[in-house]
Structure 1
């Protein structure tokens, strides 16, 4: 691990399965330009997205590209998990003249944000509303399910990337066991991401309908959440309650994995929309109910991240103060080599 001062101007981007968010950091003084959020599917490639949405806005040439992507960062050609984009750092340098390209996992970026986000963007769930610099966990459901850790060591924050969203779903309650046979399985298993994501909402909804002999009438996740918020459709309401309860349980699981005494932070695009349906006592009970370590979990705070561009906030903090952090650059940092 090492620190790296990125050369200005820096283009930072958060590329998820559904949305792309960019911002330009013009100089060390902090001048920047936010760029409106767009849908990934509006563009065939990241190159075309930059050509259409970034280049018309700038006058000076870009020097650095700092990306957070939804998926593991491996190899010279990187495939995102929940969209069709492929990212080739060397091709990006050739196409746009970047001197350097740095790519991290999107939930590493979310992890960085937890130490700089104003309190107004951290909605506490339960009675504990403050956090410490102890190890944290970040989990979030959107197009997929992201999970990362953040530890503090010798004056540096160190994000820990992972693919914990793909662990197995473990039925626990009577409702879980009743629903399990109706859940869509991939190669014989149900992963956490197949429940805690947009397509996960549809999976749960269809399972409830099949289990009860009801005809599914909803085809998109957004309608499930809107119907649940208005209590117009019973299966939709029960789907969202199942979703919230399982997310609380999984958050508690990862709090134990990391011994996250600094707090668990829940991001992603889905849960902030469901705030009116969250019963704080029930959420905390699902989070804590893990004998023999309930006493440990009772002391761990839980927060919902409500900032719509939290990953970019975390990345901006790194760009301006890289000395605060230790990020793994091996196989994730490319420098232009003149021919």
Structure 2
């Protein structure tokens, strides 16, 4: 007797990219059959993005066989609804279910999904910044700078792993030296309150670079300025590239400050939850600058530089997540379990 296949849908919707995967479910596991990625800002809202996706031949054919759908979104989630922090898009599980005739729809924070995705990855998917032994069921943290700054806490509840989403990236920025003090004052004149995300994110790197230029700490090269003006160029990515490859002195200084702030924030999160299971650095930026994170440029120095707690933080494993689809993997894991 032929059985109707059971499909699941997973999506990871961020401020820059939106990834989708359709998989065939086998118990609590799945096999991916179809994947597609889009630029989030090519769409006016979430409904337009989802309508476009379901208008494609493969998703349209699979839709009536979907047993579960999980959408990981870059924003806080409550009662099956979310507003994406950096896009303003509204997402509703009930609305998706009603519009597309889906029975099981779940909305989760993107770092909830990323935390679960980490559990799916092989050792080769990580780059080590600090080696240390971790207890088998130690609490871990996952942090990631991209369009925004996400955080999740990976916790063993006695029988299984669970991830607690967090909005710690929107906590108040805390400078650790005089230059960062000046950065805070500079940003405060524009934004009033300054969160960590204003500094530790893709747009944050651009703010750091602009601050250093306006503060008279350097002049950007013509080559860098020209590169930022190319059609489709991402100025933050250009600054990161020029800083990473030491092609522009001001970009180097901006990237150093950014990395130091990133490490300080990661250390604060590790202290907050006693992340003896380790700290995972995800997001779109860290894999691109992983060699700089490793070379003593200040990330681990800022991570561990917590006074009397330096020995504790020096004993925590810190790894960069090199798999860009970690959030999608976590969303698939959730969908397969529904």
Q: Deviations over 1:79-114 (max 9, x none)?
A: 110114221322212221111211110001111122
Point out the more displaced range, 36-45 or 100-109: 36-45
1:203 aligns to 2:207 (yes or no): yes
Q: Deviations over 1:209-254 (max 9, x none)?
A: 0111656645721111121122222211111111111111111111
Alpha carbons 1:131, 1:263 under 8 Å: kept: no
Q: Deviations over 1:2-49 (max 9, x none)?
A: xxxxx9422110000111011112222623224132101122233332
Query: What RMSD, in angstroms, separates the aligned Cα atoms of the two structures?
Result: 2.2
Give the match for residue 23 of structure 1: 21
1:126 deviates by: 2.4
Q: Which has the larger helix fraction?
A: 2
Q: Residues 132 and 234 from structure 1, CA distance in 2 versus in 1: closer, same or farther, beyond 3 angstroms?
A: farther
1:129 deviates by: 7.4
Q: How many angstroms apart in 1 are the aligned matches of 2:93 and 2:214?
A: 45
Give the match for residue 247 of structure 2: 232
Give the match for residue 300 of structure 1: 316
Q: Deviations over 1:272-319 (max 9, x none)?
A: 101122245443222111122222112110000010100111222333
TM-score when normalising by structure 2: 0.86
Gaps of 5+ in 2: 230-234
Q: How many angstroms apart in 2 are the aligned matches of 1:214 and 1:260?
A: 38
1:289 aligns to 2:305 (yes or no): yes
1:13 to 6, 11, 24: 11
1:258 aligns to 2:273 (yes or no): yes
1:71 aligns to 2:75 (yes or no): yes
Alpha carbons 1:225, 1:274 under 8 Å: kept: yes
Aligned length: 316
Alpha carbons 1:126, 1:280 under 8 Å: kept: no
TM-score when normalising by structure 1: 0.86
Q: How many angstroms apart in 1 are the aligned matches of 2:92 and 2:71?
A: 12
Give the match for residue 127 of structure 1: 131
Alpha carbons 1:149, 1:159 under 8 Å: kept: yes
Q: How many angstroms apart in 1 are the aligned matches of 2:210 and 2:68?
A: 45
Q: Residues 113 and 250 from structure 1, CA distance in 2 versus in 1: closer, same or farther, beyond 3 angstroms?
A: same
Alpha carbons 1:133, 1:152 under 8 Å: kept: yes
Give the match for residue 94 of structure 1: 98
Gaps of 5+ in 1: 1-6, 323-339
Q: Residues 177 and 45 from structure 1, CA distance in 2 versus in 1: closer, same or farther, beyond 3 angstroms?
A: closer
Give the match for residue 52 of structure 1: 52
Matches within 5 A, 1:129-278: 132-183=136-187, 185=189, 187-212=191-216, 217=225, 218=228, 220-278=235-293
